[in-house]
Amino acid sequence: MPTKKDKQPLSVTHPELAKEADGWDPSEVTAGTGKKLKWKCFLGHFWETTPAHRLRGQGCPYCGNRKVLIGFNDLKTTHPSVAKEADGWDPESVTFGSHKIMNWKCSNGHQWKVAIEYRTRGGTNCPTCAGKKVESGFNDLASKHPKIALEAYGWDPKEVTPSSGKKLSWKCSNGHIYKANVYSRTSSDSSGCPICANREVLSGFNDLKTTHPEIAKEADGWDPSQVTAGQGGKKYKWRCPIGHRYFSYVYSRVAGVGCGVCSNHQITTGVNDLASTHPQLAKEAYGWDPKTVGAASEKKFNWLCEKGHTFSTSIKSRVVQNTNCLVCGNRQVLVGFNDLATTHPTLALESFGWDPTTRTAESHSKVGWRCSKNHQWDAMINSRSRGRGCPSCATSGFDPNKDGFLYFLKHPNWEMFQIGISNDPDRRLAQHKKLGWETLELRGPMDGHLTQQWETAILRMLKAKGADLSNANIAGKFDGYSEAWSKSAFEVKSIKELMRLTEEFEENTKSN
């Protein structure tokens, strides 16, 4: 029994569909009518069908590729390059999604059959050109890879393509017979004869016993005629001429790796352990067993020297570099034994801004000092422990607590440069003048500590750049020779240039 809705016009029940009515009033037609009517889609295509069919989801037959509209959905319009290969039929008469199986002919003249949709949606091209179909003289193995084809054994290389997945028999130039897929022989990472390539063993040809008889003699409990020299993936047992037993890969042995015990890579108690090779050193082992490691170990261990000091360092450094107790050697501080406050109590009193119990007398650390007259300066601890005192109290030399001057000199006869500092430039430059030095530049007065720092940094840069400082071969050990260098070794024109080069050097040193 028809419902109230069935009696309502199309314009009410399906307003979106009603918009495509062409030349008739959708307010006068119900959705269930079986009468064919004209329609016009949003792209302007015209066709006829009943409203009932429209309600079942049938839209424009051209947009849906069910009918051909030349210039819109025909194959020639949508896929012109594919259409060129149509063989004996009109590509304007079908759509690009057609299921029809048609004849095709590629630019090389090969003919085949396939549905249109496979060409347009699946990307299927000429099977002969793609190597999926054999054509003797064009894409067969004998034509494409004649050298490989010569190794075909019991089959015709003209009947397969280079990309074939068939597993076939082959015979190499050495007469070895094996099986392999055709594509594996022709691909970029092609595999040749597995015996010649040592992937398979052939006793008497590529087995270890045949190729490396001396190494094979050390096989312990296994047959060396059953493995190749390049065998990997498994470690085998070996016995060296001395009788040591160990495990190693065959390829490692062939590459030169010998007995792990003889080379100290494998520790055997009583043979190459530290307790056996270095018994005196082993006595200082602290909290570990010297029978479990060798003398070449780079691992750090704890030690206890005869004086009761504990320290940590590698076994190798103790054996090779003869490194002994770090505390006894003043490379590690032990308060009350080798700290500066204990060994040099008077000197320690002049420490300024640091703890003298944290450094030894041999330390290269540059730290602050203050003498009994309250002069302050920086100096390395080892220079103080060797007798160098307060520069301000000294009768000669540079006093960093006074204003300083930085000077740059040249010697025209010796062809040398010199950099230096002074609290009294007039007196100092007069001394240099007597030796023939000419003043190129004088900078100051500056803070004495800053002046000293600049001189140290410039000399450090010059040494790193290859300047031949302290060259006594030119004019002997004259006054200031340690701050002089030859012009040919390193030429500069001013203090400003020296400072710029020094700053660049210091920056590069920090970044590295």
Query: Do 293 and 347 lie in a common domain?
Result: no
- pLDDT category at 55 given cuts 50, 70, 90 is confident
Beta strands in 257-309 (DSSP E): 300-304
Residue pair 386/400 in contact (Cβ under 8 Å)? The answer is no
- pLDDT category at 394 given cuts 50, 70, 90 is low
Q: Is 233 a domain residue?
A: no
pLDDT at 393 over 90: no
Task: Report how far residue 460's alpha carbon sits from residue 236's, in angstroms, rounded to the nearest whole number.
Answer: 57
Domain end among 357, 385, 413: 385
Q: Is 229 a domain residue?
A: no
Q: Is 130 a domain residue?
A: no
The larger pLDDT score, comparing residue 229 to residue 188, is at 229
- pLDDT category at 31 given cuts 50, 70, 90 is confident
252: nearest Cα among 267, 265, 271, 268: 265
- pLDDT category at 303 given cuts 50, 70, 90 is very high
Mean pLDDT is highest, among 4-13, 256-265, 270-279, 411-420, for 411-420
Domain end among 15, 31, 55: 55
Query: Do 314 and 344 lie in a common domain?
Result: no
Q: Is 39 a domain residue?
A: yes
Residues 230-260 as b or e (16 or more Cβ within 10 Å = b): bbeeeebebebeeebbbebbbbebbeeebbb
Query: Do 432 and 484 lie in a common domain?
Result: yes
In this prediction, residues 206-232 reach a mean pLDDT of 92
**What are 173's two structure tokens?**
């130039």
Query: Do 495 and 452 lie in a common domain?
Result: yes
In this prediction, residues 303-313 reach a mean pLDDT of 92
Q: Is 132 a domain residue?
A: no
For residue 5, the model assigns a pLDDT of 55
Q: 445 preceded by cis ω (within 30°)?
A: yes
**What are 226's two structure tokens?**
């059953």
Q: Is 397 a domain residue?
A: no
**Tally of domains within the chain:** 4
DSSP string covering 375-431, please? -EEEEEHHHHHTT---TTTSSSS--TTS-EEEEEEEETTTTEEEEEEES-HHHHHHH
What is the residue type of 56?
Answer: R
In this prediction, residues 49-75 reach a mean pLDDT of 88
pLDDT at 311 over 50: yes
The larger pLDDT score, comparing residue 2 to residue 370, is at 370
Q: Is 36 a domain residue?
A: yes
Residue 505: which H helix or E strand, with range? helix 495-511
Query: Do 373 and 283 lie in a common domain?
Result: no
Query: Do 293 and 379 lie in a common domain?
Result: no
Task: Report how far residue 154's alpha carbon sits from residue 140's, in angstroms, rounded to the nearest whole number.
Answer: 16
Query: Do 367 and 440 lie in a common domain?
Result: no
pLDDT at 229 over 70: yes
**What are 144's two structure tokens?**
């494409």
Give the lowest-confidence range in 17-31, 274-288, 444-458: 17-31
The mean pLDDT of the chain is 90
Q: What are phi and psi of 447, to 5 degrees?
A: -55, 135
Residue pair 301/284 in contact (Cβ under 8 Å)? The answer is no
For residue 279, the model assigns a pLDDT of 94
In this prediction, residues 230-235 reach a mean pLDDT of 84
pLDDT at 1 over 50: no
Query: Do 444 and 414 lie in a common domain?
Result: yes
pLDDT at 103 over 90: yes
CB-side neighbour CA atoms (13 Å) of 372: 3
Task: Report how far residue 125's alpha carbon sits from residue 245's, in angstroms, rounded to the nearest whole number.
Answer: 63
- pLDDT category at 396 given cuts 50, 70, 90 is low
Residues 170-179 as b or e (16 or more Cβ within 10 Å = b): bebeeebebe
Residue 246: which H helix or E strand, with range? strand 245-249
Task: Report how far residue 445's alpha carbon sits from residue 453's, in angstroms, rounded to the nearest whole number.
Answer: 14
pLDDT at 2 over 50: no
Query: Do 445 and 492 lie in a common domain?
Result: yes
For residue 349, the model assigns a pLDDT of 93
332: nearest Cα among 346, 314, 318, 312: 312
pLDDT at 4 over 80: no
pLDDT in tens, 436-479: 999 999 999 999 999 999 999 999 999 999 999 988 899 998 88
- pLDDT category at 46 given cuts 50, 70, 90 is very high
Domain range holding 360?
340-385
Query: Do 408 and 485 lie in a common domain?
Result: yes
For residue 483, the model assigns a pLDDT of 93
For residue 3, the model assigns a pLDDT of 52
Q: Is 110 a domain residue?
A: no
Query: Do 446 and 489 lie in a common domain?
Result: yes
Query: Do 351 and 439 lie in a common domain?
Result: no
What is the residue type of 109?
Answer: G
pLDDT in tens, 409-443: 999 999 999 999 999 999 999 999 999 999 999 99
pLDDT in tens, 141-171: 998 899 999 999 999 999 999 888 899 999 9
For residue 395, the model assigns a pLDDT of 58
pLDDT at 392 over 80: no
